Amino acid sequence: MTRRKVIDLRGFLSFQILHELKRKRLCGDELAEIIGRKKSSKLTPGTIYPALKKLRHNKLVAFKQEGRKKLYTLAPNGEKEYIRAKKLFRKAFTDLLKS
Amino acid sequence: MTRRKVIDLRGFLSFQILHELKRKRLCGDELAEIIGRKKSSKLTPGTIYPALKKLRHNKLVAFKQEGRKKLYTLAPNGEKEYIRAKKLFRKAFTDLLKS
DNA sequence: TTATAAATATTGTATGCCCTATATAATTAA
DNA sequence: TTAATTATATAGGGCATACAATATTTATAA
């Protein structure tokens, strides 16, 4: 049980997933890799798959089985949610990235 | 009990507190107001005060009692942590604000 | 002086993020 | 065919964020 940093910057995983899927269809493993790279360490299965499960249940993403991969895409509701969330995100953090 | 949004954009509160304190000394109530405004609703006492307590205990912020207010400032360690966190934050989210 | 408001604080509850550990199924390589 | 790899998945837990409700202290107004 490694000690967590005081400022650990957790958060917004679902939002990031939608963001990546808006660009491109991706499977869970690829999402873990891409988002993990931005956070400087690949996300574990115990992180990415429960997140995808929840997004699926809320119908924000859909998927198509392709071999052993599930290729995820943004569902219509996911697109809406993404747009909404992005507005909020920008309002909250734009000045933080500029300064 | 209002239903929570699927994408609720939680996170980074401690980071945001450090960010605001870097600009200006502020008391808890003002932080709740300023950060809350960016999130479109003022943070409740049950959110802001525990967060400040933890930052105090970790010596990332210091404060000076002034009347009934506690005016918070960034401690040296807080400055360091803020810089570190900001780098990570930028790496993770810059492209999200651009597109 | 007394009432009101401002600011701080705690308790209790809920939930998302994220990990480790473990497991299973499908594909590929030996 | 068997072994290794790839991809998905769940269980169990720690912790930060966030709310509502309640309480306390200090400053201000009536």
Asked whether residue A38, judged by its CB, lies under 7 Å from any atom of the DNA or RNA strand D, the reply is: no
- Both tokens assigned to A31: 């999402």
pTM for the model stands at: 0.93
Positive/negative CA dihedral, A20, A22, A24, A26: positive
Residue nearest to nucleotide C13 (CA to C1'): B1
Confidence grade of residue A16 (pLDDT, cut at 50, 70, 90): very high
pLDDT above 70 for A2: no
Three-state DSSP class for A68? coil
Q: Do residues B18 and B60 lie in contact, with contact meaning Cβ atoms separated by under 8 Å?
A: yes
pLDDT above 50 for B6: yes
Q: Which window residues (60-99, chain B) lie with Cβ within 7 Å of strand C?
A: 68-70
What span, in angstroms and rounded, lies between the C-alpha atoms of B73 and B76? 10
**pLDDT at position A22:** 96
Instruction: Quote the domain boundaries for residue A29.
Output: 13-93
Test B15 with A9 for CB contact under 8 angstroms.
yes
Asked whether residue A52, judged by its CB, lies under 7 Å from any atom of the DNA or RNA strand C, the reply is: no
Chain B nearest-CA residue for A17: B7
pLDDT above 60 for B1: no
**pLDDT at position A3:** 61
Q: Do residues B74 and B16 lie in contact, with contact meaning Cβ atoms separated by under 8 Å?
A: no
Strand partners, B72: B26, B63
Asked if the structure places residue B5 within a domain, the reply is no
Asked if the structure places residue A33 within a domain, the reply is yes
Q: Domain with A75 in it: what CATH number? A: 1.10.10.10
Average pLDDT of chain A is 92
**pLDDT at position B2:** 47
pLDDT above 70 for B4: no
Domain count, chain B: 1
Positive/negative CA dihedral, B31, B4, B85, A83: negative
Asked if the structure places residue B6 within a domain, the reply is no
Asked if the structure places residue A44 within a domain, the reply is yes
Q: What is the pLDDT of residues A63-79, one digit of tens each?
A: 999 999 999 999 999 99
Asked if the structure places residue A3 within a domain, the reply is no
Asked if the structure places residue A74 within a domain, the reply is yes
- Both tokens assigned to A75: 């569902």
Asked whether residue B43, judged by its CB, lies under 7 Å from any atom of the DNA or RNA strand C, the reply is: no
Asked if the structure places residue B60 within a domain, the reply is yes
β-pair type (B69-74, B61-66): antiparallel
Asked if the structure places residue A98 within a domain, the reply is no
Average pLDDT over every residue of B69-96: 95
Average pLDDT of chain B is 92
